[in-house]
Structure 1
Amino acid sequence: MRLLKLFVLPLCAAVALSAPLTSATATGAVAQAAQAAAKPPPVPLLWRVSDADNAVFLLGSFHLLRADDYPLSDDIQRAFAGSEKLVFEVAPDEMFDPSVGQRFLERARYQDGRTLSQTLPADLREKLNRVLAKNGRSLSQVDSLEPWFVNLSLVLGVSQSLGFSSQLGLDQYLMRQAAEAGKGASGLESMDHQLDVMDASPADEQIKALREFLDRPTEVPDMLEEMHTAWREADLAKLDEKARVEMQQKTPQTYRIVNVERNEAWVPQIQKLLDEQKKGDTLVVVGSLHLLGNDGLVERLRAKGYKIERICSACATGTADLAPMPPAALPPAPPVKLTPDDARESKKAEPRH
């Protein structure tokens, strides 16, 4: 399901800004979202790319997480502590610009006079109406919105009912930590470019992705949990199969726009961090899918001749590129703070007896 891939893609604007339309499809999965037992930290998707002078750490993000996904691993905390600056998909000041919400909705609306009702086949209109009706909404209320936005909103509704929060996503968490530590933070692209990418998916692929959701709405919670578990366990094979390969095969033009073209644009920027900066390391945080496969940043930078090392204390001996993390001062892990909205969502997700 293509929209689930956005949680491991660098489209953090989407999960941070779009409001869910419904959470009805989550059904009984809500009770499973809150787990009393403490979990070990997620296994990091972390690589060190280096030349003779300095290094860039590439960290694969998941854009919606739960409070029990923290604290982060010591590997990530050391990479953070040892880096002079951080680079995200979009700079924090752009990410949290108050005008972004309105700009986001402008991209989501049809600009040529069409409506969602005119665009969707009859059977898909009926299925969407049924899903919306369960939450007291109707197709007429979303008729000005394009299929990609409606699909995204539906998926986000499910994710929130499962206890996931964009404010707890790895990107936003590290943005806050960088600000508190006084570290510089910049972006690989502008917010407007990221919003344009969201809106650039071909219409037929948008409809195809929405159909995947509406044909199997009750399966979405399990699919999201599976994707999250693969990220937590750094299961590269499953992430590649369920995210990158599936997206490439089912929606190839969207894959090219969202993944390939942006990787191509980012590689020269990462090279500059290595070639033009003679000292000081940088932590680059991008959607996990951007690190996978031959199209990914890891293999593209390997092909440029840089030294590639996997930083993963929890990984088994024999893991490809595995290297020890150099010692560094390890600060205590800061507490994960929930906003009032997050606290309310977590309360909703508690199992009822």
Structure 2
Amino acid sequence: MPLKSLLVLGLLASASVLAADTAKAPAAPVPLLWKVSDKDNAVYLLGSFHLLRPGDYPLSPEVEAAFADAERLMFELAPEEMQSPAMPQMMLQAALRTDGRTLQQELDAATWRRLEGWAGKNGMPVVSFNNFEPWFVGLTISIVEMTRQGLDPKLGLDNHFMDKAKAAGKPAAGLERAQEQIGVLDGMEATEQRQFIVEALDQAEKGSAETERLHQAWRRGDAEGLWSGMAADMKRQYPRLYRRINVERNDAWVPRIQQILTQPGDDDALVVVGALHLLGDDGVVEKLRARGYQVERICSACRAGTR
């Protein structure tokens, strides 16, 4: 599975800050939405895609109803961090090389030539990348290519609900801090970082097929397809990174979500996180179900028995 999928599946909200009109989609996206209940309140879990198109709106009635029912919202990052002008600078600072070498010295000659070609086509001097770590360069390539395909971070599901929460006067908080998210990217092994650049260049040369496949799977609400076709591959090919990006963060989030369910009163919450965090045995949905909570998928368009 391309490491680029970490971004487009919504695993790292902070990545979208680095960032078209298309034809209207025929129907609202089928939501990746679950309701977790205890005796007096509920938490709605909504799987996000961080870069979307105008045609992905409006959302389904189930999602709008969950927002209306929620007294507060939670995201991977609090809105004041996610939407802060300081966020891109934080990523740039983390990405600066401190080892005394250049990116060209780290990459093999063939990859550097490919990067040089891509940069030239996009009006960027390739030497401007020399002071940055490979993960940041690979991420930049992916963002540039996805925005060219009409996917816009400003239209991502997180930003959409952050704006709605602000307009409705609903409090919103984060499950983690921005520095923690950036640290996940910055903590990638050197071999994974170099592979990230190669795969980003591969996808740039192939065009929009991979991104469109992910986007359409999200629009269909295809939880099983997203898991078996992408997350399972990532778990097999990059086990250490999968654990850092998915398992460890899910394990840290579950107690925070439980606090909402166990607190006095009947206030409900809507939690909007990257879609992959909700899928599979390592996902937040199954982790909460394993702790004894009632969990149901809310999706009128889904087949009977889909979770």
Tell me the TM-score normalized by structure 2.
Answer: 0.95
Percent identity, aligned pairs only, is 46
Deviations 1:13-32 (A, max 9, x none): 1112x24xxxxxxxxxx9xx
Verify the 8 A CA contact 1:248 1:255 in the aligned structure 2: yes
Q: Name the residue aligned to 1:314.
A: 301
Q: Is the 8 A contact 2:34 2:46 kept in 1?
A: yes
How big is each residue's C-alpha offset from its partner over 1:147-203, in whole Å with a ceiling of 9 and x where there is no partner?
111111111111111111001000000000000001010000111111212211111
Match of residue 39 from structure 1: 26
The structure-2 alpha-carbon separation of the partners of 1:136 and 1:194, relative to structure 1 and needing over 3 Å to count, comes to same
SS at match of 1:283: strand
Equivalence for 1:339: none
Q: Distance in 1 between matches of 2:88 and 2:264?
A: 35
The C-alpha deviation readout for 1:72-96, integer Å capped at 9, x for no partner, is 1000000000000000011101212
| Counterparts of 1:6 and 1:216, CA distance in 2 | 13
Residue of 256, 264, 268 corresponding to 2:251: 264
Residue 58 (structure 2) pairs with residue 57 (structure 1): no
The gaps in structure 1 that reach 5 residues or longer are 20-29, 321-353
Matches within 5 A, 1:158-237: 158-237=145-224
1:56 Cα offset (Å) = 0.5
- Note if contact 1:55-1:281 (Cα within 8 Å) is conserved in structure 2: yes
Residue 69 of structure 2 corresponds to residue 68 of structure 1:
no
Equivalent-residue separation in structure 2 for 1:50 and 1:318 (angstroms): 18
- 2:278 alignment partner in structure 1: 291
Which of 284, 288, 297 pairs up with 1:301? 288
> CA–CA distance in 2 between the matches of 1:316 and 1:215?
35
Deviation at 1:307, TM superposition (A): 0.5
Contact 1:10 1:89 in 2 (8 A): no
In 1, the alpha carbon distance for the partners of 2:56 and 2:218 equals: 11
Provide the rounded CA distance (Å) in 1 between the counterparts of 2:181 and 2:147.
Answer: 23
Q: Distance in 1 between matches of 2:148 and 2:272?
A: 26
| 1:12 corresponds to 2:13 | yes
- Classify 1:216/1:159 alpha carbon distance in 2 versus 1 (closer, same or farther; 3 Å): closer
Secondary structure, counterpart of 1:308 in structure 2: strand
**Structure 2: unaligned runs, 5 residues or longer:** none
Answer yes or no: is the 8 Å Cα contact 1:243–1:289 preserved in 2: no
What's the counterpart of residue 3 of structure 2?
Answer: 2
1:104 to 91, 100, 109: 91
Show CA shifts across 1:87-107 (max 9, x none): 001110121222222111001
Shift, 1:237, TM fit? 2.1
Alpha-carbon contact 2:145-2:204 (below 8 Å) kept: no
Deviation at 1:52?
0.8
Q: Secondary structure at the match of 2:165?
A: helix
Deviation at 1:216, TM superposition (A): 4.7
Distance 1:216 1:178 in 2: 35
> Is the CA contact 1:213–1:220 (under 8 Å) kept in the aligned structure 2?
no
Check whether the contact 2:22–2:150 (CA below 8 A) recurs between aligned residues. yes
| C-alpha distance 6-38 of structure 1, shift in aligned 2 (>3 A) | closer
Q: Which amino acid aligns with 1:3?
A: K
CA distance in 2, matches of 1:157, 1:93: 25
Matched, 1:149 2:111: no
Contact preservation (8 Å) 1:39, 1:69: no
1:78 to 58, 65, 87: 65
* Alpha-carbon distance between aligned partners in 2 of 1:215 and 1:102, rounded to the nearest angstrom: 27
What is the alpha-carbon distance in structure 1 between the residues aligned to residue 201 and residue 151 of structure 2?
Answer: 21
| 2:113 counterpart (119, 123, 126) | 126
Q: Which residue of 1 aligns with 2:236?
A: 249
Cα distance in 2 between the residues matched to 1:277 and 1:212 = 48
The CA RMSD measured in Å over matched residues stands at: 1.5
Letter in 2 for 1:14: A
Alignment length (residue pairs) = 306
Q: Quick check: 1:175–1:185 contact (8 Å CA) kept in 2?
A: yes
CA–CA separation in structure 2 for the residues paired with 1:234 and 1:76:
12
Residue deviations 1:123-143, cap 9 Å, x none? Answer: 211111111122233331110
Shift of 1:220: 4.3
Is the 2:16–2:50 Cα contact (8 Å) retained in structure 1? yes
TM-score (norm 1): 0.83
